[in-house]
Amino acid sequence: MIIRPEQSGDEASIGLVTAAAFEGHPYSDQSEPQIIERLREAGALTLSLVADEAGEILGHVAFSPVSISGGDEGWYGLGPISVAPAHQGKGIGSRLVSEGLDRLRTLGAAGCVLLGDPAYYGRFGFRLDHGLVLPDVPPGHFQALLLHGPDALGIVAFHPGFYGSAQ
């Protein structure tokens, strides 16, 4: 299996894997495939990586720019991330996260944020004790990983594609 950037023609498979991964999860409103489409349409998929096994897409992760009220730049949001249900728990998600973070470092990114379970993302260095705030989310899930430079401070907004706009 290889982790590689999305190519033209992968779009439908990415949508299907994402929909299958989030199906039935109470923390999801099942809008994740549309979020990816809106990010793509807006040119905001800074990184869109797929797990490709002999041409079959088994997983996907997106990274897109976030804005921070204090003016810090170079921060990205991880997500959505998904692995096909039959292939979860085999390390594919971890490879997608690790490869994505390596590529963000190469791009000179300052840091990465996400909303997710600390029990999973802590292993990649994501922390809950940081100076960033994501309004209107349950406590204990908004995590940050500093990659380069000083800690950032302020209120975070994910790309408008997460909120239903392609702008």
Residues that bind ligand COA (CB under 6 A): 21-22, 25, 81-83, 88-94, 116-117, 119-120
Beta partners for residue 155, in sequence order: 133
Q: CB of 4: closest distance to ligand COA in angstroms?
A: 16
Residues contacting residue 136 through CB under 8 Å, at least 6 positions apart: none
Q: CB of 22: closest distance to ligand COA in angstroms?
A: 5
Q: CB of 71: closest distance to ligand COA in angstroms?
A: 27
Whether the Cβ atoms of residue 67 and residue 100 lie closer than 8 Å to each other = no
Residue with the CB atom nearest ligand COA in the bound state: 93
Q: 5 or 91, CB closer to ligand COA?
A: 91
Q: 5 or 108, CB closer to ligand COA?
A: 5
Whether the Cβ atoms of residue 112 and residue 104 lie closer than 8 Å to each other = yes
Q: 68 or 83, CB closer to ligand COA?
A: 83
Q: Provide the CA 93 distance to its chain's centre, in angstroms.
A: 11
Q: CB of 141: closest distance to ligand COA in angstroms?
A: 8
DSSP H helix total and E strand total for the chain:
4, 9
